[in-house]
Structure 1
Amino acid sequence: MLWISLAIASLVVVALAVWDQRFRKMAEPALSVLVAVGLISAFVVWWTDDNARPPEPLSPVTANQSFATIAENQVRLENLQFEKSTPASSYVVTGTVHNDSTAFLDYFTLDVTLDDCPSSACRTIGRDDALIIARIPPGHSAPLRTSLVFPAPRTGPPEAPQWTTAIVKIQSSPAGP
């Protein structure tokens, strides 16, 4: 109700300032000071309210339960296929993810490095990572499909691409009810 009253009072002040020249000369400086005080007050309230809040837990699933971890060797990738996509420096990765742990696999980061190895000497084209979101129960598997983008090499597309993959930053939750 207070906001409605303030809105009506503001409209009356603006209307009087439009119709009466003497009122306008008096109202403009006063309204400017009131607006400045209001903005400063709003900023102070926002600042103190934002800093007073306790930090929220990262995951509501694991906030009050024991934390289940999955080691990198408990997540397997099989049949990884890298197919060129558009634009020319991007690739679509498909395969299968296996969860060999006793916890639910929520998500992980797939880190991929692309090297060009036409002869014995390899040169690195680039590195990209992809967040793979999957809710895979213990002992199960799921299909994998994601996209990766690498810098376009000045010498053209890789002649003999060699892929190096790693699983990092695994997030899991405990198995059970």
Structure 2
Amino acid sequence: MIWAFAVAAAAILYLALRFRRFQSWVEPVLTIVVAIGLAAALLIWFVEDRGPSGTVATPTAETPVLSADVITLSEMQATVGQPKTSYRVTGQVTNSGTVPLQSFWLDVVLSDCPAGTCREVGRDDALIVLRVLPGESADFSTFAVFPGSDLTPITAPKFDYGIRNVRALTR
């Protein structure tokens, strides 16, 4: 659909360059085309966010529930990436629940702790999509980026990890 608006804008610009009388119409016509495109995008966004009945989708009683208490992280490591503001975060997730894990959000907090005094440098989060059966573990890898962490050198980095929004696998 976006290509239709791009073609219309290109045609309007071509006509403005080709015919002098059309130049006075360019700004109002392009404004209208952009407004129609934005309105269509907003309408599509609202329609796709709603379920078939017009209501926001909510979990049903059949949807398995998996809490963050039964998901544990271990062997967490962070290594400096390229650029130096990014870190490759690796670890292992264990599902101690009774239903399969589908995904979770990993929260990463970077602090600089020279001489035991910590100051927070930044926070980042990442969606980890990883299917883990009950009682099993799986390795994962992602990146965390801390913009501005290159402005002051980090001498003793310390990472804190947390999980939230755990989702169970639905069939």
Fold shared by both chains (TM-score > 0.5): yes
Residue 146 of structure 1 is matched in structure 2 by: 142
Q: Distance in 2 between matches of 1:88 and 1:116?
A: 15
Please name the residue that 1:54 is paired with: 53
Contact 2:88–2:144 (Cα < 8 Å) also in 1 = yes
CA drift of 1:70 comes to: 1.8
| Per-residue CA distance 1:96-116 (angstroms, 9 max, x = gap) | 111000011010000010000
In structure 1, C-alpha distance between the alignment counterparts of 2:130 and 2:169, rounded to whole Å:
12
Residue 109 to residue 139, structure 1, CA distance change in 2 (3 Å): same
Partner Cα separation in structure 2 for residue 168 and residue 52 of structure 1 = 25
> Which segments of 5 or more consecutive residues in structure 2 lack a partner in the other structure?
1-35
Give the Cα separation in 1 of the matches to 2:79 and 2:56: 39
Q: 2:94 touches 2:137 (CA, 8 Å); kept in 1? A: yes
Distance 1:58 1:92 in 2: 35
- Aligned equivalents of 2:152, 2:51: Cα separation in 1: 55
Query: Which has more radius of gyration?
Result: 1
Contact 2:131 2:169 in 1 (8 A): no
Q: Structure 1's 58 and 93: CA in aligned 2 closer, same or farther, altered over 3 A?
A: farther
Q: CA RMSD in A?
A: 2.8
CA distance in 2, matches of 1:146, 1:71: 22
The aligned length equals 126
Residue in structure 2 matched with residue 164 of structure 1 by the alignment: 160
1:52 is displaced (CA, Å) by 10
Segments of 5+ residues of structure 1 without an aligned counterpart are 1-38
